[in-house]
Structures are given as C-alpha cells and as structure tokens.
C-alpha cells in the first residue's frame, strides 16, 4: 500500500502479529471483505501498487484476528463470532431453499473449525441463528439471513467506534506511513507527523527534494494523505505546500512566511518589543513636530514607500534597509534607532565585507525569499557594493531625520569607501572575432522556440545596449514604429522606462524586428507586436510565456557564452580564461564600443545607455578599439 493509502500503517505483515493503529480505512477494507468483494478488487482499491494481492490477503487475516481478539477482550461474544465469518457464511435465500437446519456439530464445523469459541458461546450463537427446532421455510431463511447480516454490520460498527484511531500530530510517521518511506523521512530528521507537517510547510511544494529517495509521486501521496486527515491533525496544508511554484506569482499571499524572529525577510520579521525602536536612544524627542511612526519596521516601510522609482531601485533600497535592521536586531541586539556612529562604521567597514557567521548570514542567490534557507547575503560585498550600501543608508538616515524619527543620522560620520573607476570596461567586451564566435555558436538553420528566443535576446542586447533588467521587462506595448522615407519603410523604437517619468527611446534595427516577429509567431501570437496584448514580453519563458526575470535572462546569456567555440588566435588562452565570467553587460559594453567607433556622438550614446553622467560614457572612449561586426543574420549592427 502506498504511503498515503488507507492501510499504509501495516506493511510487512508477515513480521507483525497485530495492528498498531486501526483506521476507518481498515474497517472499510474489512467491511468490503465481509460483503463478498473479491480480494483482487480490494487489493486494487486499498492495496499498495508495489505489492501483490497476497499482501492484502494477509492484511485481511490479520484484521480478522485483531478484531476478534479485541471483541473477546470486551466480552462481546456476538461480535467475536460474527466478525470471523467468512464471505458466504450468510448465504442468499436461493442457496438455502433446499437446505435443512444444520446440527450443532455441522454448525461448529462450518463457523468455528479451529475451536475458537467455548461450548457455551457456540451454543448461544447457534440458538441466536436458529431459534426454531424445525427447519424454516425459504421466507424465514431470508429473514434470518438478513437479520444476521445486519447484526454483523452492527458488530463491525461497534468495534469501529471503540477501536478506530485517527492520526495525531504526535504519532510517529512509522505508525502511519509505509516502512520504507518512514525510514527515509526519519533519516532526514522527520520522526512525527508534526515534524512532517512542519517540513512540508517550510520547504514548499518540492519538499521531497530534501528527502533522499522520495520522489514526486510518493510526495504527492503523502500530501494527499495529510490533507485527508487535516481535521485530526489540526492542520490544513497551505497553498504554497500544495501548489507548484510556477503557478504562484511572487506577490501571492500563499508565499508569505509567518511572522517570526531571526534571519528572515523584513516582511516576515517579528522584532521583540524591547528593541523595536519605539524607545530607541536615537529617537527624536521634538514634542512640537511629533513623528507618526512608532517602530523601526514602520519607519523602513515608510521610507521604502517613497523609493518606488523602479523595481530594481525598490529591491536595492529594501535590501540595504533589511540587512541593517537584521544586523542590528540579531547581532547587536539593538533597535535600529539605537545604533550610533561606531556601530554604523563597523557595519560598513567590517560586517558587509565579510558577514559572519557565514552559516547564519550567507546563502544561495537562487533561494527565494519565502524559503527557510533564504539568507540576506550571497557573500561578502566588494568595495563598490559597500559604498553603494553606505550611500543608500546615509540617504535613509537623512530621510528619517527629516521625518523627525531620528534625532541624528549615524551614517553622517561614516567615510566613503575607496573605490576604483565606476565601470571597468577594459577586457569586458568582445572584439570582432569573439563576437563572430558567439554568433556562429548560436545561429541555426532552423530554430526551436527556445533557441530562437535566446538568439533574439543576444541580438536585441547587442543592437540596443540595454541592461539585463531592461531587456527582461521589454514588452510589445513599448514598441512603436514611424514612417522614415516612405509609408512603406518603417522605423521601430523601444521605450525604456527610467527613474521617475523619464524614459529612453531606443531605435531597434529592422533585422532584430524580424526576429521579434518570428519569435512571436513561434509562441502562437500574432506576428505584429501591435496586435499582441501590451504586456506581452519580448523575451518570454519558452514554456509558460511569462516574462523572464533578470536572473533568468542572465542564465540565458551564460548558456549562450558556454556554447561559443574556442578561439583560435594567439590570445585564446586569455579569452578562454575570461569567458566563464562573461555576462549580459559584456554585450552592453560591446555595443557601446562599436557605437563610438562608428562615429556616434558621446551624448547620443549616453542617452541611449541611460548613463546619468557623461564621464561614465567617456570611459568607453578610452578603451581599446574593436573591429566592425557584420550585419544581418551573422550579427546585427546597432543603429546610429
């Protein structure tokens, strides 16, 4: 029987003499047996697909002994006898039409060949079944058999009421699940049903991936069994535990973690009252302009609400505020509003460079926020990242001072972190031969939907110079086209949102637009972007059709670079050494180099790339020159 099957608590029956726990499903199985249902049918309904019919037959024999023994202990003589009757012991009237009333010896041989009952018990049963001395007629036999069958049903019902058990949270998993599955769970540290429920809730729909040798099918049966007994277990599995992650959006309430202390995302953080900031030593005490914010969590939430310029900006600001609050509460055991200049300097200069203990603070970038293994860091921060964090937190501190929440900004005394040039473009772009290697490796005579999407991503990035997130969020609704030299020749442009209301208008070459048309048709959409819903992503997941995340797009480019054939030039060794680090930004640098090489004005390139300062764009001018790249299907040239 499967891990979720009704009688899964009694596997390996040949090694057992009794059943530990009787469930309602056990009684359903035995009721079907007494009703005359074939063993084969009972096995198909209640048995384990990994065993044969003999396992169900042994279970029925064990149930007969267990139920009869329990009835005998309670002095229920009638149930003791009736529950041992085999199917056919209460025959139909047609089979008794020509029969005579049996003798007591014949009756004993028929119903108690093993001498289970005493002489007095057997006589009592005999008289109950055959109250008249003379053989009854057919109608009397029919009435007697119906009465006896009802008594058998009643006897089984009495035993079910007194013996049946429902799974409880403190029951061992070995009492309910098949031994093989229970053993694998126990080796993972899951010993009780409460442990199992907590494990499934924490790990989500793919919880079984953390249990060796428990696959999706077995996990599905276990989850179904837990859902079947939700009332007795006093727990209904959450939406996240029973729904595949791909069917839940990142904002779905089912992904929210319960409020708790420790290293958890800020939206799930429960800060102890004594350090929640309501009485922080750095709280402003201006009675005239009192702040409406009471706790540090409220203050950070209010600050983040004013910094929703773009999804990327919102994530960056939330990340820094979240890290600082978690550090203050868990490492310093202080309210955020009690940190001083020394604490903030230690945080920027020491902790961010090497978050310790690493097991507590550092995790994988692939783990989502709702997962229990989520951590706020993926490693120590570089000097530039620490300077970015300092600047963001300094701005947050100043905002809190302006809101009359903090008395002073503790980050005012933290010196800027010394960093090199903002963008290192040297050696982080592709020359003519390298680019051609990438194009050759990704070109196909015929593309699958996924290959076409990847090839489009490569050419769209190269021809526009967009950042990874900007590529991920590009949609058909942001594409426009206008007449150039005639009403037939159309020029396509892509609007790229910026901070606030600013937006960049990027020209898209016709060759890239042809790839977009082809990609849309391959996805079953109209080839005309204007005929598609405005939120249709240009670069979509090839199975779900939803937008790729920036990280997902980064994986696309890493895969594209991994396909590139090794270069045959003298600098191959150095190129191959750097190639594993190639990223989406390399294509952006390559676009910038070529645009400047082709004579584009620096300010034009600055506007196209979205650089806030011209000095950033001028870094590309100082870099080494690159050869030209052919246009068309062998690599699309950026527009001038």
The string of DSSP codes covering 390-411 is HHHHHHHHHHHHHTTSBSS-TT
Average pLDDT over residues 612-635: 50
Residues 82 and 229 in one domain: no
* Per-residue pLDDT, 179: 80
Of the residues 384, 402, 420, the one at which a domain ends = 402
User: Residue 530: is it exposed, middle or buried by C-beta count within 10 angstroms (0-12/13-18/19+)?
Assistant: exposed
Most confident of 169-183, 316-330, 531-545: 316-330
Q: How confident is the model at residue 88 (pLDDT cuts 50, 70, 90)?
A: low
pLDDT digits (tens, 9 = 90+) for 384-426: 899 999 999 999 999 999 999 999 999 998 888 877 655 555 5
pLDDT digits (tens, 9 = 90+) for 28-46: 888 888 888 888 888 888 7
Residues 459 and 601 in one domain: yes
pLDDT digits (tens, 9 = 90+) for 418-477: 776 555 555 566 777 777 778 888 888 888 888 899 899 999 988 888 888 889 889 999
Task: Kindly list the strands in the beta sheet with 503-508, ordered across the sheet, starting from the edge strand earlier in the chain.
Answer: 479-483, 490-497, 503-508
Domain tally, the chain: 4
* Per-residue pLDDT, 514: 92
CA distance 351 to 235: 40
* Per-residue pLDDT, 332: 95
Q: Which of 408, 378, 371 is nearest to 551 (CA)?
A: 378
Residues 31 and 136 in one domain: yes
Structural contact between residues 404 and 422, judged by C-beta atoms closer than 8 angstroms: no
Residues 309 and 203 in one domain: no
Taking the CA atoms of residue 580, residue 581, residue 584 and residue 587 in that order, the dihedral angle to the nearest 10 degrees is: -90
Residues 132 and 155 in one domain: yes
* Per-residue pLDDT, 91: 54
Torsion region of 600: left, alpha or beta (phi above 0 gives left; psi -120 to 50 gives alpha): beta
Average pLDDT over residues 116-125: 74
Residue 532 domain-assigned (yes or no): no
Q: Is the pLDDT of residue 343 over 90?
A: yes
CA distance 343 to 324: 11
147: CB partners within 8 A, 6+ apart: none
Residue 154 domain-assigned (yes or no): yes
CA distance 598 to 639: 10
Q: How confident is the model at residue 136 (pLDDT cuts 50, 70, 90)?
A: very low
Residue 525 domain-assigned (yes or no): no
SS (H, E, C) 420-467: CCCCCCCCCCCCHHHHHHHHHHHCCCCCCHHHHHHHHHHHHHHHHCCC
Residues 107 and 55 in one domain: yes
Q: Which of 544, 516, 551 is nearest to 531 (CA)?
A: 516
Taking the CA atoms of residue 187, residue 191, residue 197 and residue 200 in that order, the dihedral angle to the nearest 10 degrees is: 0
* Per-residue pLDDT, 634: 37
Q: Which of 190, 162, 163 is nearest to 177 (CA)?
A: 190
Structural contact between residues 427 and 585, judged by C-beta atoms closer than 8 angstroms: no
pLDDT digits (tens, 9 = 90+) for 188-239: 999 999 999 999 988 888 999 999 999 998 898 899 889 878 888 999 998 8
* Per-residue pLDDT, 95: 42
Residues 13 and 137 in one domain: yes
572: CB partners within 8 A, 6+ apart: 566
Residue 605 domain-assigned (yes or no): yes
Residues 358 and 386 in one domain: yes
Average pLDDT over residues 358-369: 89
- Give the CATH number for residue 461: 1.10.443.10
Q: Is 480 helix (H, G, I), strand (E, B) or coil?
A: strand
Q: Which of 176, 215, 216 is nearest to 196 (CA)?
A: 176
90: CB partners within 8 A, 6+ apart: 145, 148, 149, 152
Rounded alpha-carbon distances, angstroms, from residue 457 to 78, 333, 472: 79, 47, 9
Residues 440 and 552 in one domain: yes
Q: Residue 162: how many CB atoms within 10 A of its CB? A: 13
591: CB partners within 8 A, 6+ apart: 461, 462, 463, 464, 465, 638
Residue 283 pairs in a beta bridge with: 406
Q: Residue 251: how many CB atoms within 10 A of its CB? A: 7
Domain span holding position 578: 432-478+505-519+537-634
Residues 20 and 120 in one domain: yes
Can you state the angle between helices 311-330 and 383-402, rounded to 10 degrees? 90
Most confident of 136-140, 194-198, 615-619: 194-198
CA distance 309 to 318: 12
Structural contact between residues 191 and 212, judged by C-beta atoms closer than 8 angstroms: no
* Per-residue pLDDT, 18: 52
Average pLDDT over residues 168-185: 87
Torsion region of 75: left, alpha or beta (phi above 0 gives left; psi -120 to 50 gives alpha): left
CA distance 4 to 176: 9
Residue 581 domain-assigned (yes or no): yes
The structure tokens listed for 500 are 């606030």
The structure tokens listed for 484 are 């150039």
Q: Residue 427: how many CB atoms within 10 A of its CB? A: 13
Residues 219 and 157 in one domain: no
Torsion region of 211: left, alpha or beta (phi above 0 gives left; psi -120 to 50 gives alpha): beta
Residues 46 and 89 in one domain: yes
Name the pTM for this structure: 0.56
The structure tokens listed for 62 are 């064990």
The structure tokens listed for 507 are 């020209």
SS (H, E, C) 290-309: CCCCCCHHHHHHHHHHCCCC
Of the residues 402, 418, 448, the one at which a domain ends = 402
**Strands 503-508, 490-497: pairing kind:** antiparallel
CA distance 147 to 153: 10
Q: Is 414 helix (H, G, I), strand (E, B) or coil?
A: coil
Phi and psi at 144, nearest 5°, equal -60, -45
CA distance 548 to 550: 6
Who has greater pLDDT, 39 or 569?
Answer: 39
Q: Is 479 helix (H, G, I), strand (E, B) or coil?
A: strand
Of the residues 386, 402, 418, the one at which a domain ends = 402
């Amino acid at each position: 029987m499967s891990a979720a099957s009704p009688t899964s608590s009694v596997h390996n029956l040949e090694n057992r003499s009794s059943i530990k726990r009787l469930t309602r499903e056990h009684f359903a199985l035995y009721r079907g047996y007494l009703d005359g249902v074939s063993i084969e049918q009972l096995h198909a309904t209640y048995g384990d697909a990994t065993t044969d019919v003999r396992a169900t037959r042994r279970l029925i024999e064990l149930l007969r002994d267990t139920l009869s023994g329990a009835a005998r202990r309670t002095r229920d003589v009638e149930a003791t006898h009736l529950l041992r009757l085999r199917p056919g012991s209460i025959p139909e009237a047609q089979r008794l039409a020509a029969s005579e009333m049996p003798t007591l010896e014949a009756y004993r041989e028929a119903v108690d060949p093993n001498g289970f009952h005493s002489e007095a018990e057997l006589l009592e049963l005999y008289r109950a079944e055959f109250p008249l001395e003379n053989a009854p007629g057919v109608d009397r036999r029919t009435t007697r058999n119906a009465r006896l069958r009802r008594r058998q049903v009643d006897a089984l019902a009495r035993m079910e009421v007194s013996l049946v058990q429902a799974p409880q949270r403190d029951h061992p998993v070995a009492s309910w699940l098949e031994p093989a599955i229970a053993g694998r769970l126990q080796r993972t540290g899951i010993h009780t049903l409460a442990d199992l429920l907590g494990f499934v809730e924490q790990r989500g729909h793919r919880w079984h991936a953390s249990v060796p040798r428990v696959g999706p099918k077995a996990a599905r049966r276990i989850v179904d069994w837990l859902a079947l007994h939700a009332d007795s277990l006093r727990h209904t599995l959450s939406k996240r535990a029973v729904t595949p992650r791909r069917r839940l959006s990142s904002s779905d309430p089912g992904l929210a973690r319960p409020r708790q202390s420790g290293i958890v995302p800020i939206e799930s953080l429960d800060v102890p009252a004594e350090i929640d900031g309501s009485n922080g030593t750095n709280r402003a005490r201006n009675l005239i302009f009192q702040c409406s914010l009471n706790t540090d969590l409220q203050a950070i939430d209010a600050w983040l609400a004013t910094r929703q310029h773009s999804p990327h900006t919102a994530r960056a600001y939330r990340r820094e505020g979240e890290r600082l609050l978690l550090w203050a509460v868990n490492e310093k055991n202080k309210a955020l509003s009690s940190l001083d200049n020394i604490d903030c300097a230690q945080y920027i200069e020491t902790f961010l460079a090497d978050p310790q203990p690493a097991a507590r603070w550092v995790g994988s970038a692939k783990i989502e926020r709702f997962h229990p293994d989520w951590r706020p860091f993926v490693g120590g921060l570089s000097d530039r990242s620490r300077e970015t964090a300092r600047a963001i937190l300094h701005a947050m501190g100043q905002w809190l001072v302006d809101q009359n929440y903090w008395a002073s900004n503790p980050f005012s005394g933290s010196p800027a972190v010394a960093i090199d040039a903002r963008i290192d473009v040297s050696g982080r772009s592709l020359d003519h031969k390298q680019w051609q290697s990438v194009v050759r490796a990704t070109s196909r005579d015929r593309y699958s939907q996924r290959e076409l999407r990847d090839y489009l991503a490569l050419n769209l990035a190269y021809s526009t110079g967009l950042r990874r997130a900007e590529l991920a969020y590009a949609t058909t609704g942001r594409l426009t086209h206008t007449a150039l030299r005639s009403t037939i020749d159309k020029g396509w442009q892509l609007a790229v949102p910026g901070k606030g209301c600013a937006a960049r208008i990027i020209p898209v070459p016709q060759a890239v637009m042809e790839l977009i048309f082809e990609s849309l048709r391959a996805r079953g959409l109209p080839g005309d972007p204007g005929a598609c819903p405005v939120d249709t992503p240009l670069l979509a997941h090839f199975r779900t059709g939803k937008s790729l995340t920036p990280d997902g797009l980064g994986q696309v480019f890493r895969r594209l670079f991994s396909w590139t054939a090794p270069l045959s030039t003298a600098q191959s060794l150095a190129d191959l050494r750097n190639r594993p680090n190639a990223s989406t930004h390399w294509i952006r640098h390559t676009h910038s180099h070529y645009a400047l090489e082709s004579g584009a004005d620096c300010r034009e390139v600055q506007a196209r790339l979205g650089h806030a300062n011209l000095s950033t764009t001028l870094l590309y001018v100082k870099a080494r020159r690159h050869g030209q790249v052919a246009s068309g299907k062998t690599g699309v040239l950026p527009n001038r």
